[in-house]
Amino acid sequence: MSHESHLREEICILAKSLFDRGLTAGSSGNVSVRLEDGRLLVTPTGTSFGRLDPARLSLIDASGQLISGDAPTKEMALHRAFYDTRASNAVVHLHSCHSVALSLLPDVDPDNFLPPLTAYSVMRLGKVALLPFFMPGDPEMGRAIRGLAGKRSAVVLAHHGPVVAGKDLEAAVAAIEELEETAKLALMTLGMGARVLSQAQIQGLVQRFDLEWAD
């Protein structure tokens, strides 16, 4: 099996896992993976994560043109922005329930969307930015990502859902699952005076594991 064929299978397997566990529903969400030559494999527009066909994934060349497969997700500007600003090889976007719900609350810090409740949320995500509402497919989403200058691997689009970039697809999926679980914990403990990690504890993690932690 070629490397590209392997990635096609991996996209479908991991996407179905996300769908089967209710982390995205209907035909929502999209995934892309960057090949070694700069081409992208992308989930097609209007398709369910539960029924992806490896042969019908969109193959996009380095200039953004469709080479083969079905038409790609309308969120290509979002994916391109991460690839252009970070050393990433995969991007995952979901409409997961708890992170969307948390994005609707009035007192969320847009510069640090998730409270530092667990070590692994710090380790896998760093600081998560909350971006404002955009119409689906709006190129302004890409410009908002570029405005972060590559300093964030994870964002949440208000009223829409999380987007995470990773060194590979497995890492990006693990990180976006961590984001959703941390959002769930934040909602479960809302208004209960939950203890968060201290700045000293966060800095200890940053230094011990050589983590990104944006200013």
* pLDDT in the model for residue 212: 84
- Catalytic, out of 75, 177, 178, 181: 75
Q: Evaluate if residue 190 carries a pLDDT over 90.
A: yes
Q: How far apart are CA 215 and CA 211, in angstroms?
A: 12
The token duo for 180 is 């959703």
- Catalytic, out of 4, 10, 120, 170: 120
- Over the stretch 142-159, which tens digit does the pLDDT of each residue have? 999 999 999 999 999 999
Query: Among this protein's residues, is 180 annotated catalytic?
Result: no
SS3 30: strand
Q: What is the average pLDDT across 88-110?
A: 97
Contact 165, 91 (CB under 8 A): yes
CA atoms within 13 A on the CB side of 190: 14
* pLDDT in the model for residue 215: 61
Residue 79, judged by CB atoms within 10 A of its CB (0-12, 13-18, 19+), counts as: buried
Q: Evaluate if residue 214 carries a pLDDT over 80.
A: no
Residue listed under structure tokens 């964030």: 152
Q: Could you give the domains of the chain?
A: 3-209 (3.40.225.10)
Query: Among this protein's residues, is 120 annotated catalytic?
Result: yes
